[in-house]
Amino acid sequence: MTGHKKNVRIADIAAECALSPITVSRALRQDAAVSESTRTRVIAAAERMGYHPRAKMGRPEQPKAANPTVDIVLDRDMAPTSMFTTELLVSIEQELSARGYDCIVRTTASEYAHFLPLYQELEHSKSSGTMILGYLPVEQLQAVLELLPNAILVDNTGDPRLECAYHSVGFDNVEAARLAVGHLIQTGRRRIALITGDPEHYFSRGIEQGYREALARAGIPVDAALIEHAHFTPRAAADAVRSLAERGIAFDAVFTSDENAVGVLRALHERGLPCPGRVAVAGCDGLPIGEHTIPTLTSVELDYRALGRAAVERLLAVGEGQPPCRMLLLPRLRVRESTGAAHQKG
């Protein structure tokens, strides 16, 4: 921006863009009625001309009706640490805002003492819809879905133990693991460690299933000693690698989440195990951090922007009595330096 010029008005921008002042005003407010190309052109002109909004300019302010709201239930354990969760939340907020909705984030944790006040808040909420983002224990999830049958599970494929119908929008985590583990096998790896989270977690269940299926397809027996359950943190993943090494369990590859991969790469470096020369590493999430690790990280990309958009569209489309809809978005593999070619023996 060239600077804050007090004399630049909406009418000036309208003249510059050959548009009406009303259209310019709507474009600057991110009104969905204005096309994306027009909005981009107006914002570029406003920046170039040094326009900045000022209080009480334009027509007298009218009382504004409150926007409808959407509740987002978020697992507190993931909220402060997960880069993926942060990116997904931003995507959902932007999609809701573009449609004239505000969102209320309600955090909870696995303990009953934390869940009970959340349930009471949802019971009295006036929101237009509810998204459940992340993991909830099955008993708590059952209770919320019975209270709010039109709630949408986001980035959560559900749980086979649920006794009620539900709507969900998530990723095909089974296919994600098939892609990553299949790729590692193609590079010559045979002792592939899986580092994942709580076995009850939907993500853990999905990637372990895909991991087992990929090994079976290649005729490689599953070695339970190569499956490590840890927290979804780089520190926990690094500890899992150290545990495998200290117990003398041979491995030539690791499959885990992108954030966990950061800890894996550090632990391998500390142990003098070069990646990918001795141990290949593949992640899952497609987070930007993978472009900056050393070596850069091969990852199964999960498009959180597409997930946020699909979740909002589904939430606003769900009506009373509609049959449950379970949508899975397909992942794709991005090969980078951390998987390399098959390692040399000797």
Rounded CA gap, 43 and 58, in Å? 18
List of the chain residues with pLDDT < 70: 1-6, 54-65, 76-82, 319-321, 341-346
- The residues, ordered by sequence, that sit 6+ positions from 240 with a Cβ below 8 Å of its Cβ are 193, 195, 228, 230, 264
Q: Calculate what percentage of the chain has a pLDDT beyond 70.
A: 90
Rounded CA gap, 264 and 255, in Å? 10
Taking CA atoms, 311 is separated from 26, 89, 118, 172, 327, in Å, by 26, 11, 21, 15, 9
Report yes or no: 325 and 314 within 8 Å, Cβ to Cβ: yes
**pTM given for the model:** 0.78
Rounded CA gap, 276 and 279, in Å? 5
Triad 154, 325, 309: Cα angle to 5°: 45
pLDDT digits (tens, 9 = 90+) for 55-93: 555 555 555 667 899 999 987 665 434 677 888 889 999
pLDDT digits (tens, 9 = 90+) for 167-188: 999 999 999 999 999 999 999 9
Triad 317, 322, 326: Cα angle to 5°: 75
- What domains are there in the chain, each with its CATH number? 1-64 (1.10.260.40), 69-172+304-328 (3.40.50.2300), 173-303 (3.40.50.2300)
